[in-house]
Chain A
Amino acid sequence: EAGVVQSPRYKIIEKKQPVAFWCNPISGHNTLYWYRQNLGQGPELLIRYENEEAVDDSQLPKDRFSAERLKGVDSTLKIQPAELGDSAVYLCASSATGVRNEQFFGPGTRLTVL
């Protein structure tokens, strides 16, 4: 069974540029999460989707971050414009309905903002 797929794996951009990350969850998983992991820290939840609905986006900086999960499968997280402090690893995870606490993580996208 394929795991959570993320792309790109690495991204280097100049500040004020836009950037987007893509996630394809495990087939059949209805719940999708985006986390941000700063260097030397644990992941922190940005947004959680149940199918196509964002049910928890309280930690998403909405002035510059946006996310979508059209058709309840793939998801895209966007930052526009990026700031130096956005440098981090962005992790996507998914879980199946009924066993929500067992989250399966992708390898992450390491973003560097110069």
Chain B
Amino acid sequence: GNSVTQMEGPVTLSEEAFLTINCTYTATGYPSLFWYVQYPGEGLQLLLKATKADDKGSNKGFEATYRKETTSFHLEKGSVQVSDSAVYFCALSDQGGSEKLVFGKGTKLTVNP
């Protein structure tokens, strides 16, 4: 079945550091790929998405590129802020019209001032 694998956390960075959170997937067909963020005490929020190969999703300084050849969708940000501290989830929606989201386990990011 479809699955998503994220790098293990937690990740701790200093403010203004470069961030990469790795995400790879296994899926049949051509899934859509997502990054969701969960701030403490809040629900998941869609951060960015890409629906086809080579698409780049971007939002709030975060970027991720849909790489079909490496089945990856790594999240990057050039300069993190304390306010980026949260748990980040990579997810895919399987083809076939089910619209079911399959999530990775999440990566907790802590940014220190």
Measured CB to CB, the residues of A under 8 A from B are 3-4, 31, 40-45, 48, 56, 91, 93, 95, 100-108
Contacts and interface: CB of A to CB of B under 8 A. Distances in A.
Q: How would you classify the secondary structure of chain A's contact residues: helix, strand, loop or mixed? A: loop
Interface in B18-62: 32, 34, 36, 41-46, 49, 51
Contacts of A42: 4, 89, 91, 103-106
Given A101-B93, A103-B46, A44 B103 contact: yes
Interface of B: 4, 32, 34, 36, 41-46, 49, 51, 89, 91, 93, 98-101, 103-106
Contacts of B104: 42
B43 A101 contact: no
A43 B103 contact: yes
Q: How would you classify the secondary structure of chain B's contact residues: helix, strand, loop or mixed? A: strand
Q: Which residue, B89, B98, B99, has most C-beta atoms of chain A within 10 A?
A: B99
Nearest to B103: A42
Given A42-B91, A107-B41, A102 B46 contact: yes
A1 to B, nearest CB: 14
A105 B99 contact: no
Contacts of B98: 48, 56
25 contacts: A4-B43, A40-B105, A40-B106, A41-B105, A41-B106, A42-B89, A42-B103, A43-B101, A43-B103, A45-B101, A48-B99, A48-B100, A56-B98, A91-B43, A95-B99, A101-B32, A101-B93, A101-B99, A101-B101, A102-B49, A103-B46, A105-B44, A105-B45, A106-B43, A107-B42
